[in-house]
Amino acid sequence: MGEAVKFVIDGLKANIENKEILRGVSLTINGGEVHAIMGPNGTGKSTLASAIMGHPKYEVTAGRITLNGEDVLEMDVDERGRAGLFLAMQYPAEIPGVTNADFLRSAINARREEGNEISLIKFIRQLEAKMKELEMNPEFAHRYLNEGFSGGEKKRNEILQMMMLEPKLVILDEIDSGLDIDALKIVAGGVNAMRSDDRGFLIITHYQRLLNYIKPDFVHVMMQGRIVKSGGPELAERLEAEGYDWVKEELGIVDETVGGPEEEFKVPMNTVAPKYN
């Protein structure tokens, strides 16, 4: 058994280019739990993921993030990775000149004490085993990171990174986009194999489909840069069947997006504006 995991986001607000995108997000993820964040496009889901990871473009203006009591916002980007935070990105970057294997080995060793680096043999064995599990062609180990990978191959490669790095908190941002159904099942299988009491998951997805394969414990809906509704897996099923309109109606939200050009015309959150009154 590894150590228990408790990841807490409390009242997080964040700006991009002086525009407020996150407007008070609070969420606690314990080890063993899978939380799904769903929501239409442009509601701040990826911004939340980037703010957690410390992307320099996103300025946190209020709130706290802690991992096992440690202040994440105080950490540099690389420290966050070493502390056990991992993000599988919606749009993974291509890094020509660095092979997949080299990248992974340095990332693993960056998380280890000096003198305790993973041996080449052990690394290769692990890498081969995980790539097999993900049904990846072995040649991908020696390709430059994400260069010329198809959308689906990039997503599989993100999952490979997750499996090799064994993070404490895994964030998957639209890992299902660009995947055909077979690839989706393989990716979900990889994620499910990593579920354990000493790891928490935050799964961002636009569609419920992924959640047929990765059963979430909690489902949250994001609109206007905050979590406006939370529930169990049944919430995802209702969203799949009925879309997001009923949530907007229930909460009196006219435009669910955040930070767009029509911002000024939005009805403020929590404004009681029932349609028929």
42 binds, among Mg ion, ligand ADP, none (CB under 5 to 8 A by kind): ligand ADP
Which residue is at the shortest CB distance from Mg ion? 46
> Helices in the chain by DSSP H: which ranges?
45-53, 77-83, 100-110, 120-133, 151-165, 181-194, 233-242, 245-251
CB of 105 to ligand ADP, least distance (A): 30
Nearer residue to ligand ADP within complex by CB, 26 or 41: 41
CA 200 – CA 211 distance, rounded (Å) = 16
> Helices in 84-230 by DSSP H: which ranges?
100-110, 120-133, 151-165, 181-194
44 binds, among Mg ion, ligand ADP, none (CB under 5 to 8 A by kind): ligand ADP
Nearer residue to Mg ion within complex by CB, 46 or 146: 46
Residue 28 main-chain phi, psi, to 5 deg: -120, 130
Count the alpha carbons within 13 Å of 16 in the hemisphere toward its beta carbon. 15
Q: List binders of Mg ion among 83-122 (CB under 5 A).
A: none
Residues that bind ligand ADP in the complex, under the rule CB under 6 A: 16-17, 21, 39, 41-47, 57, 258-260
CB of 59 to ligand ADP, least distance (A): 11
Closest-CA residue to 157 (of 125, 180, 124, 190)? 190
CB of 94 to ligand ADP, least distance (A): 18
Count of chain residues binding Mg ion (CB under 5 A): 2
CB of 39 to ligand ADP, least distance (A): 6
Nearer residue to Mg ion within complex by CB, 46 or 157: 46
The DSSP symbol for 114 reads T
Show the tokens assigned to 41. Answer: 């496009």
Question: Do 160 and 191 form a contact (C-beta atoms < 8 A)?
Answer: no
Q: Is 43 in the site for Mg ion (CB under 5 A)?
A: no
The DSSP symbol for 244 reads S
Work out which of 15, 46, 161, 208 binds Mg ion, going by CB under 5 A.
Answer: 46
Span from 10-18, 38-46, 56-64, 111-119 in contact with Mg ion (CB under 5 A): 38-46
The binding site for Mg ion (CB under 5 A) comprises 45-46
